[in-house]
Amino acid sequence: MRVDAVTLFPGMIDTPLSESIVGRARAEGYLELGFVNPRDFTEDRHRTVDDKPYGGGTGMLMMAEPVYRAVKKVRKKGSFVILLTPKGRKFDQAAALELAKKKHLIFICGHYEGIDERIVPLADMELSIGDYVLTGGEPAAVAVIDAVTRLIPGVLKKSDATVNETFTGGLLEAPHYTRPAVWRGKKVPEALLSGNHKLIAEWRASMAAKLTGAARPDLSGARPVKKAARKAAK
């Protein structure tokens, strides 16, 4: 997969994505990550990319033209452009799976107070990673690229590594334990020590449903759990 980020601060993306699984994916050729800086498409000696917003207000806005030119520089047939913005679709595992099927992603990372609204039609998708304020779109791009990269076939060496994990099927993942079997008086659940694969699978499914219902009842996988609980209460 090819990913290009339109950003004023490429280091904010490049550095964290040079480590661990994503760093290895880049080194092994599963992910090609590039950067294009809107400052390179300005025409004044100060390389100006921001200006005051019309109507007044706090802060500065990124100007549309440098961003437009930056996107046009790397966009080609089959590219999928993502504008990272608070008003976008909420990013989740389903969105990560959709994006992992694309061959070329372009992320537009706003900064300051955002980007001139006239840049929006340039995007194929507006995306948000949550209801909070970040310094810019770069940290959001890191989160999305990380989540998408691990879904690229071959990046995770175990082929089933992405099947039974958190948010798959709308459920949180069951709790995990490792050695020792007893740590500071706390024991690993007997089912996990049994060696019975059917029993272990049943325990994990039950705990995933229970944990999701208690901690994240908003997830789709929690709905059958809540329905069953209401039925049992009658």
Question: What confidence score (pLDDT) does residue 231 get?
Answer: 47
Task: Provide the 8-state DSSP code for 222.
Answer: G
- Given the structure tokens 């339109």, which residue do they identify? 6
Question: Per-residue confidence at 142, pLDDT binned at 50, 70, 90?
Answer: very high
Q: How far apart are CA 80 and CA 99, in angstroms?
A: 9
Write out the H or E segment, with its range, that includes residue 152: none
Q: Is the pLDDT of residue 234 over 50?
A: no
Neighbours of 199 (CB within 10 A): 13
Residue 158 confidence class, pLDDT cut points 50, 70, 90: confident
The count of other CB atoms within 10 Å of the CB of residue 171 is 24
> Do 56 and 24 contact (CB within 8 A), yes or no?
no
pLDDT band at 200 (very low <50, low <70, confident <90, very high): very high
Query: Is the predicted pLDDT of residue 225 greater than 80, yes or no?
Result: no
Percent of the chain with pLDDT strictly greater than 70? 91
Q: What are the residue ranges of CATH 3.40.1280.10 in the chain?
A: 2-149
The model carries a pTM of 0.88
* Architecture field, domain 2-149: 3-Layer(aba) Sandwich (3.40)
As a whole number of angstroms, the distance between CA 51 and CA 105 comes to 28
- Give the tens place of pLDDT for each residue, 60-80: 999 999 999 999 999 999 999
Task: Give dist(CA 19, CA 17) in Å, integer.
Answer: 6
- Architecture per CATH, domain 168-233, reads as Orthogonal Bundle (1.10)
Q: Is the pLDDT of residue 193 over 50?
A: yes
- Determine the 3-state secondary structure of 121 from DSSP: helix
* Ranges in the chain annotated CATH 1.10.1270.20: 168-233
